[in-house]
Chains A and B, each alone.
Chain A
Amino acid sequence: MPDTTSLNHPAQRAFNPYTENGGTILAIAGADFSVIAGDTRQSEGYSIQTRYAPKVFQLTDRAVLAVNGFAADGNMFVKKVKQRLEWYRHAHSKDMPLRAIARLIQTMLYARRFFPYYVYNILGGIEEDGTGAVYSFDPVGSYEREACRAAGAAQSLVQPFLDNQIYFKNQRPAPNTSHPAHLPLQTVLSIVIDSFTGATERHIEVGDGLEMYVVLAKGRGLHGLEGVRGVQELTATDDGQRVFVVRRELKKD
């Protein structure tokens, strides 16, 4: 008997409103700082679209957002978050606190529960109590505060490395010592650079350039940032927190 359902409905390729644009992001929180990083390659399939398309955005002087997944959704989402933060500034004459931005992002993502922004967000910065913080989200808004998180194409390569190097998983401390609760900035920057050079080596969608944003708590010195090649300060207000960006090249093959 012929399949009548297929006769009634001619086979049609439905338009797919999503794509994947590759790349990887990651963030690590320290005691009084936070590092948020992402590569700058944008790709679709096996084609590199551009070698410089930023995925990490400064929202305020204490909040930086990294966005990875479908680039068009990502750019639109960042645009809308920035707009909401501007409205908050006009209403309250101050920048929105980090944990409030985190909740805002969850609400904005969940509002699109049935046509989601296909993006993984990682929010990093300084909490109101002066501690470094990282919040990670899934595309529909589930979120939690963590010490470190990798997302994107090379998440499966980078996250185990961070588990080992930041959380000291599968490492035993030397006799009569313990693992440090927080790592110094210099160490964290090295781990971030190693993560991305490693991911570039083993993942085709990662490479070209690296942007690392560093957010420092109020009153904290530069310890760990001085002498770093090519640091650029981006601080916009005199609230006390300071934001820097460090740019590095990654392999382009």
Chain B
Amino acid sequence: MDHFPTNWGRPRNDAVDVYGTYPIHSRPNNQPKDAFADGVQRTQQPIVTGTSVLAIKYKDGIMMAADNLASYGSLARFKDVQRLHPVGQYTVIGAGGDMSDFQYIQRILEELSIDEMSAQDGHELGPVEIHEYMSQVMYARRSKINPLWNSLIIGGFKDGKRFLSYVDLLGTTYSASTLATGYGSYIALPLLRKAVEGYEDVLTEEQARKILQESMRVLFYRDARSLNKYQIATITAAGVWVSDSLRLETSWNFAEDIRGYGAQTQ
């Protein structure tokens, strides 16, 4: 409710000042005013982008993978970007999409963590809370038509429970035992589902790692915006762990046997 009568519009009859607003003071300017408002641009498209993030449930917790590339269109611009980001002691957040928006997300989560830590109330942010928080932020931003252009996968382990969930720039959320963003949802997810669904409680860390490594390799062969340098994160009862950068071994020997296309053999 606007409590300034002069903002309500003029009385119907100028002769009668029903609102008792005389003498007319200047209208208070109580809306937020930005001198650069005309120049403010909202994210209409992602600029520097990360590609797929993969995540699976396994026996001891959650394992996630993402490569180290941030692309500028089709240019492989930054080759040492960490897209798996630990938040607190129980959670890792992995991001595809616009990397500057992701860095902004890292910052607001850092601020949130500090606020929560300062409260000293014996409560700690777990993956459930961080996912709920991020889904509200993402939905609020899309509702202002000013989205954070990301697909996020949030994995965690707290109080003996695994957690794996997704949220994107529209505020859409869902959970499953295997998740993937971007190209990974077309290429890697079918492989992950085949390898993981029904085996969530028996897969060992070594098996889980092999599944993700193999999926990352397939993605590197097929996704033109991917890199053969990637990281793996695990979240277990022992806590959060993000690996150093790993290198994918690939072989291109088959290439020299290719002669032309399709049926052409010469």
Binding site for B on A (CB under 8 A): 12-15, 17-19, 21, 42, 44, 47, 49-53, 70-72, 75-76, 115
Whole-angstrom CA separation of A49 from B166 in the bound complex: 9
> Which of B42, B142, B172, B173 neighbours the largest number of chain A CB atoms within 10 Å of its CB?
B172
Best-surrounded residue of B45, B147, B173, B174 (most CB of chain A within 10 A):
B174
Residues on B with beta carbons closer than 8 Å to the beta carbon of A72 = 139, 142, 170-173
CA separation between A115 and B144, bound complex, in Å?
10
**B113 CB–A CB distance under 8 Å:** no
Decide: B174 and A49 in contact? CB cutoff 8 A: yes
- B44 in contact with A12 (CB, 8 Å): yes
Which of A12, A19, A50 interacts with B170 by CB under 8 Å? A19
Task: Judge whether B143 is part of the interface by a CB distance below 8 angstroms.
Answer: yes
Is residue B246 within 8 Å, beta carbon to beta carbon, of the partner chain? no
Q: Is B185 in contact with chain A by the CB < 8 A criterion? A: yes
**Contacts of A49 on B, CB cut-off 8 Å?**
166, 172, 174, 176
The answer to whether B174 and A13 touch across the interface, beta carbons within 8 angstroms, is no
B136-154 vs A: 1/0 string, CB under 8 Å? 0001001101010000000
Measured between beta carbons, the chain A residues less than 8 angstroms from B43 are 15
B186 is an interface residue with CB less than 8 A from chain A: yes
Residue of B nearest to A46 (CB): B186
Whether B139 pairs with A76 at a CB distance below 8 angstroms is yes
Contacting residues of chain B (151-191) with chain A, CB-CB under 8 angstroms = 166, 170-176, 185-186, 189
In the complex, chain A residues whose CB is within 8 Å of the CB of B174: 42, 49-50, 53, 71
A175: min CB distance to chain B, Å: 54
Nearest-CB residue, chain B, relative to A115: B143
- Contacts A17-B142, A47-B186, A76-B139 given: A71-B172 contact, CB under 8 Å? yes
Size bracket of the B interface: 20 to 34
CB neighbours (8 Å) of B185 from chain A are 47
Q: List 25 A-B contacts (CB under 8 A).
A: A12-B44, A14-B44, A15-B44, A15-B142, A15-B147, A17-B142, A17-B145, A18-B170, A19-B172, A47-B185, A47-B186, A47-B189, A49-B172, A49-B174, A50-B176, A51-B176, A52-B176, A53-B175, A70-B170, A71-B172, A71-B173, A72-B139, A72-B142, A72-B173, A76-B139
CB atoms of A13 and B170 under 8 A apart: no
Complex Cα spacing A71 to B175, Å:
13
Q: Is the CB of B171 within 8 A of A76?
A: yes
**Inside 8 A of A19's CB, which chain B residues have their CB?**
170, 172
B136 nearest CB neighbor, chain A only? A76
The listed residue with most B CB atoms (<10 A of its CB), out of A14, A21, A70, A72, is A72
Q: How far is the CB of A71 from chain B (nearest CB, A)?
A: 5
Q: Which of B45, B172, B189 contacts A13 (CB 8 A)?
A: B45
CA distance A12 to B43 in the complex (A): 12
Q: Which residues of B contact A115 (CB under 8 A)?
A: 143
Known pairs A13-B44, A17-B147 / 7 extra A-B pairs, C-beta < 8 Å? A15-B142, A15-B147, A18-B170, A19-B172, A42-B174, A70-B170, A71-B172
Q: How many Å from the CB of A246 to the closest CB on chain B?
A: 23
Q: Contact at B172–A15, with CB atoms within 8 Å?
A: no
Would you call A44 and B143 a contact (CB within 8 A)?
no
Separation in Å of the B148 CB from the closest CB of chain A? 11
In chain B, residues 43-66, which have Cβ atoms closer than 8 Å to a Cβ of chain A? 43-45
Evaluate contact between A50 and B147: CB separation under 8 angstroms. Answer: no
Chain B residues with CB under 8 A of A51: 176
Contact B175 A50 (CB under 8 A): yes
Q: How far is the CB of A162 from chain B (nearest CB, A)?
A: 29
Would you list which residues of chain B between 223 and 246 have a CB under 8 Å from chain A? none
Q: A205 vs B114: C-alpha distance in the bound complex, in angstroms?
A: 43
Closest-CB distance, A89 to chain B (whole angstroms): 23
Min CB gap B66→A, angstroms: 19
Instruction: Return chain A residues, CB-CB under 8 Å to B142.
Output: 15, 17, 72
